[in-house]
Amino acid sequence: MFLGALVMAAGMIGVFSVPTNLALAGTMTWVIGFFGLATIGFTMVAIPCSAQVGEITQDPAERSAMTGWRMGFASIGILIGGAIIPGLAGRMGYVNAAMAFTPLIVGAIWLSLWATRNAPRITQAAAVDICSMFGLVFANRAFMVLVVLYGVTTLAMALITAGPPFDAIYRIVDSGDTALSGAAKALSALSLMFAAFVVGSILSQVGWVFASGRMGKVGALVLGLCLYAVLLYALYTALPSVNVTAIAGLFVLAGIANCAYQQIPWAMYPDLMDVTRASSGGAIEGVFSVIWLFGQKTGQRDCARCIGVYSCAGRVARNHR
């Protein structure tokens, strides 16, 4: 994780540092190469970070609390990245903005390593080879079912997340006489809705930790997804709209419901690591983390393909007309 933070930061800066004299092929190669480097760095951080939840504690309630803290700070980072960095990049350029925020990104990761330096950990390596490790993970049926379900849910959530920018641009018009009209003019409707969504997620982390303790993690997750469906239908019926205050309120509520998807599955899958550890004696949290993140990223990749096909189809249709 220590080295991965540096690799990720270097890749991020490199993406925005394309030499101006490169041809199209060279530019594409440059961007793809550095984006790949940034992704490798992110993976170096994400896999061990996720695996640590299974090592530091075996208490399901503590895992929910840990995940709540993690996702709460992740949402703050998303809010900073979506609300502050674009405006800063517009004034000082993307390269300078990336370099300005690099200490925050690297520092947050290094600070977390320092803060958990004395946390419980499993120091003895597993006594099986890598193929046997994957075999043990695949044999954990409950975990594999959760991976598939979470991957499909991630695909759905990514498609949902792709919709609000279009709504903010084309279907939300500020009437100028509502409570948040000034904010909408200062931030734009898109930034306001994005901020409302993320703020809802930040504020509800504690609530979903509490719900997981009272209802169980599965019950809390089902409740959150049902609330999300209701709120999405409410947004569907409310749009188009000229009342940015009402729509922002719905986006806050949608962020609260989305928090259940964001937090609870990440607290569930470490509990299933214990099943394999109890039956085989193998502490292979890292392999569980690999499979979990692979399922999530596969869902996001499929969503990107769908959006790309949709965008290309739209361009073709407009050109044809």
Peptide bond into 240 cis (omega under 30): yes
pLDDT at 320: 43
Sequence-ordered list of residues with C-beta below 8 angstroms from that of 10, at least 6 positions apart, any chain: 34, 37, 38, 41
- Does 312 have pLDDT greater than 50? no
Kind plus residue range of the DSSP H or E element containing 155: helix 141-170
d(CA 40, CA 9): 11
Mean pLDDT value across the chain = 87
**Mean pLDDT: which of 77-91, 150-164, 194-208, 297-311 is highest?**
194-208
d(CA 173, CA 74): 30
- Does 82 have pLDDT greater than 80? no
From 38-47, 55-64, 184-193, 247-256, the region with the lowest mean pLDDT: 184-193
From 3-12, 29-38, 90-99, 258-267, the region with the lowest mean pLDDT: 90-99
219 CB-side CA count, 13 A:
8
pLDDT at 4: 97
Are 245 and 178 a contacting pair, CB within 8 Å?
yes
Query: pLDDT band at 168, cuts 50/70/90?
Result: confident
Per-domain boundaries in the chain: 2-120+129-320
Question: Can you tell me which residue has the tokens 């977390």?
Answer: 112
3-state DSSP: the chain helix, strand, coil percent, rounded to 5? 85, 0, 15
Question: Can you tell me which residue has the tokens 């890292």?
Answer: 286
- Does 310 have pLDDT greater than 80? no
- Does 303 have pLDDT greater than 70? no
Residues 183-206: tens digit of each pLDDT: 777 677 778 888 889 999 999 999
From 189-193, 258-262, 287-291, 310-314, the region with the lowest mean pLDDT: 310-314
Q: Which residues of 181-218 are buried (b: 16+ CB within 10 A; e: fewer)?
A: bebbeebebbbbbbbbbbbbbbebbebbbebbeeeebe
d(CA 27, CA 45): 27
Q: Is 49 exposed, middle or buried (0-12, 13-18, 19+ CB in 10 A)?
A: middle
d(CA 245, CA 251): 10
pLDDT at 313: 41
pLDDT at 317: 43
Are 83 and 194 a contacting pair, CB within 8 Å?
yes
pLDDT at 28: 94
Residues 142-162: tens digit of each pLDDT: 999 999 999 999 988 888 877
